Amino acid sequence: MGYQPRACPGDVEMMRDAASQRQIDAADPHVSTWLLANAGSGKTRVLTDRVARLLLEDVSPQNILCLTYTKAAASEMQNRLFSRLGDWAMMPDEHLRKDLKKLGIDDEIDVSRLQDARTLFARAIETPGGLKIQTIHSFCGGLLRRFPLEARVSPQFREMEERDAEVLRQDVMDQLVSGPQSQIVHGMLQYFSGDDLGKLTAEIASKRDFFTKGFSEDRAREVLGLRQGDSRDAALELAFSGDETNIARILSELFADQSATYQKFAKQIGQLKLDAPEWSDLEVLFDLFLYKGTADSKSKNFPQSNHTKAVEAMEPIRDALHDWMDRVAQARQLLWSFDALDRTKAIYDFATEFIDGL
C-alpha cells in the first residue's frame, strides 16, 4: 500500500498567516525563545517543531533534552514527534518537501536533505540514550541519583506519585487522630476553618524543612508585638485602665437630652460593670467603640460631625472618651495577636508530629 498523507496539502502554494509565522519563528533553533500562550494555542506543537528542526540541523538526538510539567504532556510530545519522523521516513519527495517548508525550512531542499529527513526516525530510535523527553520531576530525580552523596539521598530512591503521597498523608493523619497525640490534632482543628484537610497536610509536607526548625514562642511574640510575660488579661487591663466609671456617669448626663441613638449609647456604657469589668463587658465595648472587622476605633468619627448637638454636648468629655475608644481598639488588636500566637503554636505542634510520621 502506498503512502497516504495525513492531510492533503493540495497543489496550492502554502501561505503563512501572522500566527503561523510567529510559531515558525519560535521554533527556530538558532534563537533562544520564551513562549507565553494560552492553553490549546499550540505550545506543544512549537516545541515539537523545534526539536524536529534541531534534528534537521544534524544535532544528535542524545544531546536534546525536552522538559515538560506532566507525564501526559511528555507522552503527547513524544508521540507527536515520532509520528512526524515516521511519516517523513515514508513520504514521497513532493510531500516531504512541502512538510519541511511548512516547518519553516526556507532554504533549497535538495534530494540529499530529503534523504537526511527520512533517516531521522531511525536515528532517534537507535541513538544510545535516545531522545530525552521527560518531566521536570523525572529529570531532577535522575540528577539526584547521579550525585546521591551530595544530595544526601539513597541512590535507590524513587519519585512518589501524587496519589501515593496523598494516601500516605491520609494514613499518617489517621494514626495521629487515633493515637496518643490525638489532642494535638484536635488542638489544631479548633483553628482550622478550611473544608479540605488534605490541602493543609500537603502544604505542611511541602514545607517540612520550615516546620522542623521548631517553634520559638519568644520569636513569635516578638513578631506579633507581644511582651514576654503578657497574657490575655493584659487586654482587659488596657481597656479599663482609666477613669471609666466617671466617663460613663458624665456621658449619661451629657446625652440625656440627645437623640435616642446617643441616649442608648450612654445607657449601654452605664450598664457595664466598670468597677470590676469582665470579658463580656469588653465585648460590649467592641460593638460600641470599634468598626466591624477591624481594630480601628470610632474615635475620629464619634459623634458624627453632622450631629451638631451631640458634638457640642460631648465636648467636655470628648478627649477622655476618645482615649478610651483607642485603648479598646488596642485591646482587641492585642487579643488578635494572642489568637495568632495560639494558632501558630497549634499548627507547629501538629506539623511536627505529622512530619515525623511521614
User: Mind listing the pLDDT tens digit for each residue in 58-79?
Assistant: 898 889 999 988 888 889 999 9
The Cα 237–Cα 320 span in angstroms is: 17
Determine the pLDDT at residue 331. 96
Domain limits for position 258: 162-358
Is 337 within the bounds of a domain?
yes
Q: 103-127: per-residue pLDDT in tens?
A: 988 888 888 889 999 999 998 888 8
The Cα 342–Cα 321 span in angstroms is: 32
Q: Given a cut of 90, is residue 222 above it in pLDDT? A: yes
At 15, is the pLDDT very low, low, confident or very high (cuts 50, 70, 90)?
low
Q: How many CB atoms neighbour CB 310 within 10 A?
A: 20
| Residue appearing with cell numbers 490534632 | 185
Residues 285 and 166 in one domain: yes
Examine the fold and report which residue of 106, 122, 146 is the final residue of a domain before the chain moves on.
146
Is 1 within the bounds of a domain?
no
* Residue 337 near residue 225 (C-beta atoms within 8 A): yes
Examine the fold and report which residue of 146, 172, 194 is the final residue of a domain before the chain moves on.
146
Average pLDDT, the chain: 88
Q: Given a cut of 50, is residue 4 above it in pLDDT? A: no
Residues 304 and 336 in one domain: yes
**How many structural domains comprise the chain?**
2
Helices (H), 106-159: 111-126, 136-146, 148-151
For 5-19, 23-37, 176-190, 320-334, which range has the lowest pLDDT when averaged over its residues?
5-19
The Cα 354–Cα 207 span in angstroms is: 12
What are 290's strand-pairing partners? 297
Share of the chain above pLDDT 90, in %: 54
Residues 132 and 199 in one domain: no
* Three-class secondary structure of residue 227 per DSSP: coil
* Residue 151 near residue 144 (C-beta atoms within 8 A): yes
Is 9 within the bounds of a domain?
no
Average pLDDT of 157-185? 88
Residues 83 and 120 in one domain: yes
Determine the pLDDT at residue 8. 40
Average pLDDT of 230-247? 93
* Residue 222 near residue 236 (C-beta atoms within 8 A): no
Residues 176 and 122 in one domain: no
At 5, is the pLDDT very low, low, confident or very high (cuts 50, 70, 90)?
very low
Residues 337 and 268 in one domain: yes
Residues 266 and 130 in one domain: no
Is 5 within the bounds of a domain?
no
Examine the fold and report which residue of 122, 146, 170 is the final residue of a domain before the chain moves on.
146
Is 57 within the bounds of a domain?
yes
* Residue 288 near residue 295 (C-beta atoms within 8 A): no
Is 317 within the bounds of a domain?
yes
Residues 189 and 132 in one domain: no
Is 7 within the bounds of a domain?
no
For 177-181, 191-195, 250-254, which range has the lowest pLDDT when averaged over its residues?
191-195
Average pLDDT of 84-98? 92
pTM for this prediction: 0.63
Determine the pLDDT at residue 44. 86
